[in-house]
Each structure stands twice: as structure tokens, then as C-alpha cells.
Amino acid sequence: MTEDSLVSIDIDLEADGKQFGNMKVPMSTNSAGWSQYFIPIISIRNGDGPTVLLSGGNHGDEYEGQVTLMNLARNLDPTEIQGRIILIPMLNKPAAMAGTRLSPIDGKNMNRAFPGDKDDDITGKIAHFVAHHIIPLADIVVDIHSGGSSMHFLPSVNMHDLEDQEQMSRMIEAAKAWGLPYVFIYEDVAGSGLLPSYAEGLGKITLGTELGSKSQFGPEMLKMAADGIHNLLVWAGIISAAPIDTGISDSEVVAGDDTRDYIMAPCSGILEPLREMGDVVGVGEVIAVIHNPELIDGAPYEVRTETEGLIMSRRSNPLTAQGECIATLVRPR
Ligand SMILES: [Zn+2]
């Protein structure tokens, strides 16, 4: 399980109490031949019990998890818990500080870098340390995402469809405890190397989220993140308190299990959405048109569905390149 890493950590994850520290990633730059890049990590522990890993900022431009986990790290007292909570608010901190999805240092997507390599670029080095030294400690792994700069999402807790039915049913139970409108079972249509895939593969109770988008960032989405984490910690037995009533007592479990549910732009241009999230559409419906700014006397290109379902997400950035995802459809499970 343990592999050598060039990354070090300056807190003791086995100690009781609350510790703020850093993962220190070796780096050599033009301004410092010898340097380390610091990524905050917090451990809150009180005796024996389950371990939950909470990460945010896997994609730098998704700030819901980052803010929620910074608040939680500051406010939670170790005496309020039984077990251990490890928080990494800004997993891809270089991207978070740049306001970008991908790392500005090496151009990498943290959520395609797992399990990484100890001699990789900075993103892969961080992924490798987290994969081999942090995730194995956890019983429950939560990676908080949102639509960031490019997508709007209906609020959901999400996961892949796993073969292990016992693990899957525990994950759905945990996801429902969060208290969001949807539990979204998704397919990978844009590559492998996801943090959740790695944790799922180790048999961990693994949850992701999609909470709104950069332009929906605000009190409503932050409350969904904070209340949901509280409810999950109650479900796990780490906090003995009543769950917070989110108004959702039974999340709807939906799946996008056909690659055609992930509708990619057939051409570049300016996207005009015609249908909104939450709408239910049939096969062959025009859900958006794409205007060609160089041929405005011609009709815009009609984007038609190839499957039916509820619109779970839609592109938030009108300027669209061929092949970029413009909407996702899901059906009840
Ligand atoms: Zn994300």
C-alpha cells in the first residue's frame, strides 16, 4: 500500500486533536532552485472510529468544496467527533489560485492524474501521494465538485455504477444521507485517472458532488455542501447529532448510462440553449442551436437529442468549440 513519495507531510495523521499542516511537494523554479509547493491538509481526530477524507479544489475553478472545507476545518472541535476527518480543501491549489480547472504549472487535470507517479509533474506527484498515503487511510472518500466555469448542474451527489453491489448500495445510502435532490450515476466520457475511480477501486465508500457552477456560487450551494457533509458525518457515526433537514428526504437516483446522454457540440460557435435543466426531453428534440458568427444569414445548427431523459446539466459558457459537452441527460434508476 505504501509507496515511496517525494512529497512530505508535516502533521501526524495518527495523533488526536486538530492539526493544520501542509503536504510539501518538491519543485524547482526560475526563482528558487530548491523549493516546495505547500498544499494545506488538516487532520481532526478523536480516538477510534471511521476515517473520512474530504477533498475540494480537485478542479481549481470549483470553489464550493474549498470554502466549505476551510470553514469546517476552522469550526469543528475534535471533541465533537469520534474517529478522524482528513481535509484537503484545495487539492489542486495551483489551479485554485489561478482560477482555472487545470494546473497552470503543468497543464494537468488533477482528476485525470490518479494514481500518479512519484516522479511525475506536480499534479501527478500530488495525486500519487494522496493515492498511496491518504486515501488508503479512509473508509469514506468525498471529492466535492461543481460545474465550475463551463457547466451548470442540478445539485447531486454522484458515483460510478460499480459491479460490487454491496459497495454500491452502501454508497447510494451514504449519498442519500447528504440530502440533495439527485443521486447521479455517471459514466466517464472524458478519460480515466479520476480520484473517485481510484477510491472506488479500493472499495471505499466514495462520493462526488456536482453543486451548481461558478456563476451559481453563493449561499444556497454552500449550504448544500455544508449541510450535506454534516449529514454524511452523522450517517458515518463520526458526529452524534441530528441530521440537518435539507427538505429532501429521499433523493431521486438517476443515471446517464448511455454515452449519447453526454451531448457534445457537433460544431463550434455560439450556443443558444432552448431547454432548461430539469426539463424532460424525448429522442430527436432540439435542445439547443449553435450560431455560426461567420454565416449569420444561415440558420443556426440544431442540436438534437439521441436519447430521452431529464436535463441534468447544461453548458454555461455560450462560446463553444466542437466536441465540448453542452448537456447531459439522465433517467430514473
Ligand atoms: Zn470538477
Nearest to 301 by CA among 316, 319, 314, 289: 289
Q: Rounded to the nearest whole angstrom, what is the distance from the C-alpha of residue 147 to the centroid of ligand 1?
A: 6
How far does the centroid of ligand 1 lie from the alpha carbon of residue 148, in Å?
7
Q: What pLDDT does 3 receive? A: 80
Contact by Cβ (8 Å): 123, 92: yes
The total of other beta-carbon atoms located within 10 Å of residue 107's CB is: 10
Task: Compute the distance from residue 59 Cα to the ligand 1 centre, in Å.
Answer: 5
Between the CA of 98 and the centroid of ligand 1 the distance, in Å, is 15
CATH 2.40.50.100 placement within the chain:
259-332
260-270 pLDDT per residue, tens: 999 999 999 99
For ligand 1, the distance from its centroid to the CA atom of residue 58, given in whole angstroms, is: 6
Residue 15 Cα to ligand 1 middle (Å):
31
Average pLDDT of the segment spanning 310-327: 97
Helix (H, G, I), strand (E, B) or coil at 127: helix
- Residue 2 is predicted with a pLDDT of 63
Report how far ligand 1's centroid is from the alpha carbon of 145 (Å).
4
Of 97, 82, 88, 99, the closest CA to residue 9 belongs to: 88
Where do the CATH 3.40.630.10 domains begin and end in the chain? 8-253
Q: What is the per-residue pLDDT for 246?
A: 98
Q: Give me ligand 1 centre to Cα 206, in Å.
A: 15
Q: What mean pLDDT comes out for the span 307-326? A: 98
Measure 299 CA to ligand 1 centroid, in angstroms: 34
* CA–centroid distance, residue 56 to ligand 1 (Å): 9
Mean pLDDT of 274-281: 98
Contacts of 209 (CB under 8 A, 6+ apart): 64, 65, 142, 143, 144, 145, 146, 155, 156, 157, 158, 178, 180, 225, 228
For the record, the C-alpha cell of 298 comes out as 444561415
Give the confidence band of 197 by pLDDT, cuts at 50, 70, 90.
very high
Yes or no: say if 209 and 156 are a contact pair by the CB < 8 Å rule. yes
- To the nearest whole number, what is the mean pLDDT of the chain? 97
Q: How far is the CA of 84 from the centre of ligand 1 (A)?
A: 25
Say whether pLDDT at 72 is over 50.
yes
**Segment 283-304 mean pLDDT:** 97
For 259-332, CATH number out of 2.40.50.100, 2.10.10.90, 3.40.50.300, 3.10.150.10 equals 2.40.50.100
Q: Within 13 Å and on the Cβ side, how many CA atoms surround 318?
A: 8
Check pLDDT > 90 for residue 282: yes
36 CA to centre of ligand 1 in angstroms? 25
Report how far ligand 1's centroid is from the alpha carbon of 333 (Å). Answer: 23
3-state secondary structure 253-308: EEECCCHHHEEECCCCEEEEECCCCCCEECCCCEEEEEECCCCCCCCCEEEECCCC
Strand partners, 231: none
For ligand 1, the distance from its centroid to the CA atom of residue 216, given in whole angstroms, is 15
Ligand 1 center to 180 CA (angstroms): 17
Q: Quick check: 289 pLDDT over 50?
A: yes
- For residue 188, CA distances in Å to 154, 256, 259, 325 come to 18, 10, 9, 12
Write the CB contacts of 299 (distance below 8 Å, at least 6 apart in sequence).
Answer: none
Name the H helices within 60-121.
64-75, 93-98
Q: What is the pLDDT of residue 206?
A: 98
The model's pLDDT over 202-230, given as tens digits with 9 standing for 90+, comes to: 999 999 999 999 999 999 999 999 999 99
Peptide bond into 115 cis (omega under 30): yes
Which of the four pLDDT bands, split at 50, 70 and 90, describes residue 65? very high
pLDDT above 80: residue 27: yes
* Structure confidence at residue 93 as a pLDDT band (50, 70, 90): very high
CA dihedral for 308, 314, 319, 321, sign (positive or negative): negative
Alpha carbons 23 and 17: distance in angstroms, whole number? 18
pTM of the model: 0.97
The Å distance, Cα 31 to ligand 1 centre, comes to 31
pLDDT tops 60 at residue 53: yes
pLDDT tens-digit map of 151-173: 999 999 999 999 999 999 999 99
User: Please, what CATH class does the domain formed by 8-253 belong to?
Assistant: alpha beta
Distance (Å) of CA 51 to CA 136, 141, 286:
10, 9, 47
Residue 181 carries which side chain, given as an amino acid letter? P
Set of cell numbers at residue 311: 436535463
Confidence (pLDDT) at 1: 46
Tell me if residue 162 falls in helix, strand or coil: coil
Tell me, in angstroms, the distance from the centre of ligand 1 to residue 239's CA: 27
Which CA distances in Å does 298 have to 186, 227, 228, 284?
Answer: 36, 49, 48, 21
Distance 62 CA to ligand 1 centre (A): 6
Q: Which of 285, 268, 266 is CA-nearest to residue 329?
A: 285
Mapped onto helix, strand or coil, the DSSP state of residue 169 is: helix
Average pLDDT over residues 19-42: 96
Cα 48 to ligand 1 centre (Å): 32
Q: Is 49 left (phi over 0), alpha (psi -120 to 50) or beta?
A: left
pLDDT tens digits, 133-145: 999 999 999 999 9
Average pLDDT over residues 10-39: 97
CA 61–ligand 1 middle distance (angstroms): 8
CA of 153 to the centre of ligand 1 (A): 11
pLDDT in tens, 291-300: 999 999 999 9
